[in-house]
Amino acid sequence: MPAFRSAIAFLAFAIAAPALAALSPAEEKMTAAVEAGKARNLALLERMVNQNSGTLNLEGVEKVARMLRPEFEALGMEVRWIPMPETGRAGHLVATKAGSRGGKRLLLIGHLDTVFEPDSPFQRFSMEGDVARGPGVGDNKGGVLVILAALQAMQAAGTLKDAAIEVWLTGDEEDAGAPRSLARAGLVEAGRRSDVALDFEGLAQQDGADMGSIARRSSNTWELRTTGKGAHSSGIFREHVGDGAIFEMARIIAAFRTELPEPSLTFNIGLLAGGTTAELQAEGTRGVASGKSNIVPAVAVAQGDFRTLSNEQTQRVRAKMQAIVARNSPGTTAEIHFNEGYPPMAPTAGNRALLGALNAVNRDLGLPEMAELDPLRRGAGDIGFVAADVDGLVGLGAAGAGDHTDSERIRISSLWKQAKRAAILMSRLASEKR
C-alpha cells in the first residue's frame, strides 16, 4: 500500500511540474558554443564600440564594417559592402548564405552606426562586473554581436550549413539618408525574398522580465507653415487684416490636440517660430524669428512628428491633419508638408506565431516565457521597411538601458542568453519548409 501511494504521489507531481528543458543534441552544442566563444566575442564588442561610428562619420561606419567582414566570411557567408554616396551616408554591410534544404529564408537586421559622432565626449568601452558601457554598446553593436554569436553557434552545431540567411547591417539607422526610398531599397527587396525577419535591436524588459516585441510604431515628421497679412496690430481680426500667422498656427495646433487623439497614436510639436520673419535652420534643430509686439505676424513655421501602429493609421492621421490645416482663418494661409518616415510594424498573427516559437525555445532552455510588449514602448526601426512583406520579431539584441545617452549600457550576460535563444530559434525556423 505505501508503494502504491508513492507511485500515485510521483505521478501527481509529474503532472503538476513544469516540463523539463528539451533541447536536441545540436541545440545543446549551440548553447555550449555560445559559452565557449564569450571571451573572444566580448573582445570583438570592445573593438567595435571603441571605433566611433556616428552616422555622419562615414569612414568610421565603414571601419566597423571591415571589422565584421572576416567574421561573416569565416561562417561561409558571401559578404558585400554597398556604398551609399547618393544618400550622403556610408553604406550597408550584407552577408548572405543561400542554404540548400528549401527551408524558411531568414532576414537578420541590425545597424553599424550610433548617435555618437566624433565630437561626443562618450567614446570608450568599459566594463564593471556584468555591465558594459560605451557608445552604441547596446544600440546596436551589442545586437550585431548577438547575431554573430548565434551564427557561430549554429556553425558549431552543424545547423548553419543548410540555412538560408541574409544579414543586413545598415550604416544609417539612427539618421537615414535621403531619399529614404533609395536608402532602404535594398532592405525592402531583402524583405520580399524572405520568410521571417528578426530585428536585433535591444531586448525590452518590464518589471525585470524579458518581453517579446511583435510590433513597433512608425516615425513621421512634418513641417507646417502659416502666413498672414503684416499690418499694425490695431487692425488685427478686421476684415482687411485677418488673424495673422501666429493665431492661425495656434488654431491648427489646438485642433491637432483635440481632434487627432486615438489609440496607439502620439504626436508632438518640437519646434516653432513666428513673427514678421521666421525660418527653421540647422536641419530643423533651431528656429530664428523677428517681429514686434505691435505688428501682426506675417509668417509662422513649426515642425513635429507623429507615430502610428499601422500604415492605415498613418494615412488616416495625415488626412485629418491636412483637413485641419485647410480650415483657414480669415486673412491667412496654411500648408503642411510630410517628410519620408519610418513605416510601422503592425502586430499581426504571423508575428505573434513567431513569438510563440520563441517561447517554445524559452521553455526548452528553462527560461520564463515572454509576454507581448506594448508597442508604445518601442520606437521606430529598420524592420518597419520590411514589415508589410514578412512576419517578424523585434528586440533580439542585448538588454540594457540609457540608449542615446552617455550612460548607455548593457548586461553582458544578456548577450549570451540572447545568442542562445536566437541560434535555436533560427535553426528551427530554417529547418521548416517554406
CATH number of the structural domain spanning residue 102:
3.40.630.10
**Same domain for 130 and 186?**
yes
Where b means 16+ CB within 10 Å and e means fewer, 4-15 reads: eeeeeeeeeeee
For position 310, which CATH number holds?
3.30.70.360
| Cβ atoms of 291 and 274 closer than 8 Å | yes
The closest alpha carbon to 300, from 308, 291, 309, belongs to 291
- Read off the C-alpha cell for 35: 559559452
Pairing outcome for strands 196-199 and 105-111: parallel
**Same domain for 24 and 157?**
yes
Q: What angle do CA 246, 251, 257 make, to 5 degrees?
A: 125
**Same domain for 248 and 143?**
no
Q: How many distinct helices (H) and strands (E) make up the chain?
A: 11, 19
Q: What are phi and psi for residue 54, nearest 5 degrees?
A: -55, 145
Each of the 434 residues of the chain gets a pLDDT tens digit; together they read 344 334 443 344 333 334 446 899 999 999 999 999 999 999 999 999 999 999 999 999 999 999 999 999 999 999 999 999 999 999 999 999 998 878 999 999 999 999 999 999 999 999 999 999 999 999 999 999 999 999 999 999 999 999 999 999 999 999 999 999 999 999 999 999 999 999 999 999 999 999 999 999 999 999 999 999 999 999 999 999 999 999 999 999 999 999 999 999 999 999 999 999 999 987 778 999 999 999 999 999 999 999 999 999 999 999 999 999 999 999 999 999 999 889 999 999 999 999 999 999 999 999 999 999 999 888 899 999 999 999 999 999 999 999 999 999 999 999 999 999 999 999 999 999 88
| Cβ atoms of 171 and 110 closer than 8 Å | no
**Has residue 106 been placed in a domain?**
yes
The closest alpha carbon to 297, from 226, 223, 222, belongs to 226
pTM of the model: 0.88
| Cβ atoms of 315 and 218 closer than 8 Å | no
**Same domain for 277 and 321?**
yes
**Same domain for 231 and 350?**
no
Q: Examine the fold and report which residue of 307, 322, 338 is the final residue of a domain before the chain moves on.
A: 338
Alpha-carbon gap, residue 54 to 135, rounded angstroms? 9
- Amino acid 132: pLDDT: 98
**Same domain for 368 and 380?**
yes
- Amino acid 21: pLDDT: 60
**Same domain for 357 and 325?**
no
**Same domain for 291 and 164?**
no
How far CA 163 is from CA of 40, 104, 204, 272, 358, in Å, comes to 24, 8, 27, 52, 18
**Same domain for 233 and 289?**
yes
With cell 548553447, the residue in question is 31
Residue 188 host element (H or E): helix 185-192
The closest alpha carbon to 275, from 254, 244, 304, 235, belongs to 244
| Cβ atoms of 90 and 68 closer than 8 Å | no
CA Rg, the chain, in Å?
A: 26
Alpha-carbon gap, residue 394 to 378, rounded angstroms? 9
**Same domain for 88 and 210?**
yes
Alpha-carbon gap, residue 11 to 15, rounded angstroms? 6
Alpha carbon 329 to chain centroid distance?
40
**Same domain for 158 and 187?**
yes
- Number of structural domains found in the chain: 2
- Amino acid 14: pLDDT: 39
Structure letter (DSSP) for residue 340 = P
**Same domain for 71 and 191?**
yes
Q: Residue 122 belongs to what domain range?
A: 19-216+344-431
